[in-house]
Amino acid sequence: MANHPLWQEEYWLPLMQLYLKKPVGVKTIYSRSMVELALELNIEPQFLYEQMFWLRRHSTPSLNLLWDKFANHLKRLNAEVEQLRLMRGFNHADEFYRGVEIKDTWQNDFKPLTDYYAEYNDGKYMLIPLHLIIILDLYFHLTPITMVTETSEIQDLAKLTDITPEVIVDVMDAFQQCDPYFNRVTLEVSPLFESCHDIWQRYGNGNPQQLAALASQLKEYFRK
């Protein structure tokens, strides 16, 4: 079983609560509920996903005790988790982990980008880096002439991610400015250029199959 510097034994309780949430079973890495718990605990979704498999297998005597105690007593489990959430520091990582060196990297992918759509109150204009990663994958499957709102793939992605096709086209326009093979000359740099350039540096020059696999996983965050 892997170790994590921020993992605590009490965290098996909310993890079990999530596992037992219908449909019962191991949740996908980037499901909304898994990501929300990861952000709450300040622990990567990948680690929680792996821990959930250990939980499922009753891998240690202590996990066996948890199953014996809570598997058929969900009200008791929910009460224990609620009490845990009321404890000092839980869900307040900035206070609880003060003095602990934390690399705030993966969390940033779920934080809103305010540099471009700050003037809008409509959620359909709000982006997080997660959107950009998924849009970059689609970018590599289209040609410039098809990067328009009428393209069915763009409309489908907009519906899934709850943003507008126009926003996706804006993002693709910014990616064109990042693309060294596009040789685009523009007099006006997209307000999204910096954010899209960061994503391009991470994924734009890598293996497209790996990006496609990641994008497929990340889409689970938006599925209802």
| Same domain flag for 134 and 178 | yes
| Same domain flag for 85 and 180 | no
| Same domain flag for 117 and 215 | yes
Residue 118 has pLDDT above 60, yes or no: no
Asked if 153 and 137 touch (Cβ cutoff 8 Å), the reply is no
| Same domain flag for 207 and 129 | yes
Asked if 137 and 131 touch (Cβ cutoff 8 Å), the reply is no
For residue range 48-94, what is the model confidence (pLDDT) as tens digits?
Answer: 999 999 999 998 999 999 999 999 999 999 999 999 988 855 655 55
Q: pLDDT band at residue 188, thresholds of 50, 70 and 90?
A: confident
Q: Report the chain's mean pLDDT, rounded to a whole number.
A: 89
Q: Would you say residue 135 lies in a domain?
A: yes
Q: Is pTM beyond 0.85 here?
A: yes
Q: Which of 71, 96, 121 is the last residue of a domain?
A: 96
Closest CA to 11 of 89, 118, 120: 89
Q: Which residues pair with 127 in a beta bridge?
A: 113
| Same domain flag for 122 and 89 | no
| Same domain flag for 50 and 137 | no
Q: Which of 96, 123, 146 is the last residue of a domain?
A: 96
For residue range 6-65, what is the model confidence (pLDDT) as tens digits?
Answer: 899 999 999 999 999 999 999 999 999 999 999 999 999 999 999 999 999 998 999 999
**Helices assigned H by DSSP within the chain:** 12-20, 32-41, 45-56, 61-70, 74-86, 93-96, 114-117, 129-139, 152-161, 165-178, 193-199, 208-218
CA 209 to chain centre: 19
The pLDDT score that the predictor gives to residue 27 is 98
The pLDDT score that the predictor gives to residue 52 is 97
| Same domain flag for 63 and 25 | yes
Q: Which of 70, 96, 122 is the last residue of a domain?
A: 96
Closest CA to 158 of 172, 145, 144: 172
Residue 195 has pLDDT above 60, yes or no: yes
| Same domain flag for 163 and 77 | no
Which residue range(s) make up the domain with 160? 111-222
149's tokens:
């709102």
Q: Would you say residue 121 lies in a domain?
A: yes
Higher pLDDT, 184 or 119: 184
Helix axes 129-139, 152-161, angle to 10 degrees: 160
| Same domain flag for 191 and 166 | yes
Q: Would you say residue 78 lies in a domain?
A: yes
The pLDDT score that the predictor gives to residue 123 is 56
Q: Would you say residue 137 lies in a domain?
A: yes
| Same domain flag for 136 and 195 | yes
| Same domain flag for 115 and 53 | no
Q: What's the CA gap between 91 and 85, in Å, rounded?
A: 7
Number of domains in the chain: 2
Q: Would you say residue 2 lies in a domain?
A: no
Q: Would you say residue 118 lies in a domain?
A: yes
Q: Would you say residue 206 lies in a domain?
A: yes
The pLDDT score that the predictor gives to residue 92 is 56
| DSSP string covering 95-132 | HHTTTS-----GGGGGSPBHHHHTT---GGG-B-HHHH
| Same domain flag for 115 and 214 | yes
The pLDDT score that the predictor gives to residue 178 is 93
Q: Would you say residue 192 lies in a domain?
A: yes
